[in-house]
Structure 1
Amino acid sequence: MTEPAKQAPDIVGGAKVILSASVEGRRATGRTNHIHIGKSVIPTVGLAICKYENEDGYYLFGCDSNWKSVTDTWHETVEEAIEQAEREYGDLSGAWIKK
């Protein structure tokens, strides 16, 4: 697995990136199991909290090394998305990069 670029692009999954974090080298907590088309997805290497134009809420995207969205969860607030990310990967307080 290759390490993601330090910063996510401005757009991930068609949505504007608000915050991003590399989780390369971090062990997933095991509290969440991501399923895609009936199969468990390997933990991602980057996280991006994003917002679609004209849509309420925020998405937490789990991304591959090219910042392509592999998983997603929807949250009412950025804070809730951060809490979900920390359930998945532990303390990320120093890892977030603001766009």
Structure 2
Amino acid sequence: MTQQPPGELDGARVLQFALIGPAQPATGNTFHFGDFPDVVRGLALACYEGGKSVYLFYCDAEWNVLTDTCHSTSQDAIDQARFEFGGLEFQDL
């Protein structure tokens, strides 16, 4: 996996990111269909220009966005990510 995402994903500016690997296992606190937790390799917090919401993008090994969740603040998005994956450390882009 590329160690950091590009500056923009799906037209939104990336603010922070976290890599997913063996040290960040799925917690089982949420249910996803199929092998979703197994293909997620990175998470990115991003904002669309002019928007107030923060998106948590769930990405594959090439930083392709698989799905997202929308949050009021960056901290809410980080809390959701940590609820779903253990041992996460977010880094500024």
Structure with greater helix percent: 2
1:55 to 42, 51, 54: 51
For structure 2, list consecutive stretches of 5 or more residues without a partner in the other structure: none
Following the alignment from structure 1 to structure 2, what is the Cα–Cα distance between the partners of residues 41 and 18? 27
Q: Who is 2:72 aligned against?
A: 76
Counterpart secondary structure, 2:36: coil
Q: Who is 1:29 aligned against?
A: 27
The answer to whether residue 36 in structure 2 is matched with residue 42 in structure 1 is: yes
Does structure 2 retain, via aligned residues, the 8 Å contact 1:19–1:98? yes
Does structure 2 retain, via aligned residues, the 8 Å contact 1:7–1:97? no
Residue type of the alignment partner of 1:9: P
Cα RMSD for the two superposed structures: 1.3
TM-score normalized with structure 2 length: 0.88
Q: Who is 1:18 aligned against?
A: 15
Does structure 2 retain, via aligned residues, the 8 Å contact 1:62–1:70? yes
Following the alignment from structure 2 to structure 1, what is the Cα–Cα distance between the partners of residues 34 and 9? 22
Counterpart secondary structure, 1:30: coil
Deviation at 1:89, TM superposition (A): 0.4
Q: Who is 1:96 aligned against?
A: 90
- The count of corresponding residues between Structure 1 and Structure 2 is 90
TM-score normalized with structure 1 length: 0.83
| Residues 49/16 of structure 1: CA separation in 2 closer, same or farther (3 Å cut) | same
Does structure 2 retain, via aligned residues, the 8 Å contact 1:20–1:96? yes
For structure 1, list consecutive stretches of 5 or more residues without a partner in the other structure: none
